[in-house]
Amino acid sequence: MPRIRVEVDGETYEDDVEPRLLLVHYLRERLGKVGTPVGCDTTNCGACTVLLDGLSVKSCSVLAVQADGLPVTTVEGLSLDGTGDHPLQQAFHRAHALQCGYCTPGMIMASLDLLRDNPDPSEQEVREGLEGNLCRCTGYQNIVRAVRSAATEMRGREVTS
């Protein structure tokens, strides 16, 4: 079995893994990072999105061995200073951008990647940036509102309604 070394949410792990083990299953079953849900297992829904070396990936499409030597950030590792929720998490809560919550971790992680590339996205740019993440409950309006609100906050300006 291959041995991998990954940094997940700032903590380093070394493990022997089956070559075919998916990253999402490694995170959940080996490391207890259950904030990353297994959605469709086919890359369609995006619920399992994490940041791998700073880029959003659907962790059901990445093998754990492919993460060897790379940092992984899950929704559980988003706290900016280790004491509170990330501005995206706060904005999703404030804007009621979730109902069942199943897609929320993936939406937040994909949004973080979007905002890294485009810190001031329009409504249309947010919708396009989240196309690979599906929500069956919300209709997306509050998700878009939350992402734009968090973007404003993250740019250091006062959040407007």
Predicted local distance difference test score (pLDDT) of residue 69:
98
Task: Give the phi and the psi of residue 10 in degrees, each rounded to 5.
Answer: 85, -5
Are 63 and 21 spatial neighbours (Cβ–Cβ below 8 Å)? yes
Question: Helix (H, G, I), strand (E, B), or coil: what is residue 126?
Answer: helix
Give the domains, in start order, of the chain with CATH numbers.
Answer: 3-77 (3.10.20.30), 87-154 (1.10.150.120)
Q: Beta-carbon neighbour count of residue 21 at 10 Å?
A: 18
Q: Which of 136, 76, 132 is nearest to 107 (CA)?
A: 132
pTM for this structure? 0.92
pLDDT digits (tens, 9 = 90+) for 38-63: 988 888 999 999 999 999 999 999 99
Predicted local distance difference test score (pLDDT) of residue 84:
84
Predicted local distance difference test score (pLDDT) of residue 159:
38
Predicted local distance difference test score (pLDDT) of residue 75:
96
Per DSSP, the residues of 135-149 read -SSS-SHHHHHHHHH
Amino acid of residue 151 = A
Distance CA 86, CA 99 (A): 19
DSSP assigned state of 63:
B
- pLDDT reading at 138 higher than 90: no
Predicted local distance difference test score (pLDDT) of residue 81:
63
- pLDDT reading at 161 higher than 60: no
**Side-by-side strand order, sheet with 49-52:** 11-16, 3-8, 71-73, 49-52, 55-58
Predicted local distance difference test score (pLDDT) of residue 158:
44
pLDDT digits (tens, 9 = 90+) for 74-121: 999 997 666 689 999 999 999 999 999 999 999 999 999 999 999 999
DSSP assigned state of 50:
E
Predicted local distance difference test score (pLDDT) of residue 82:
66
Alpha helices in 22-129 (DSSP H): 23-25, 87-94, 104-117, 123-129
Predicted local distance difference test score (pLDDT) of residue 156:
85
Q: What is the mean pLDDT of residues 16-27?
A: 98
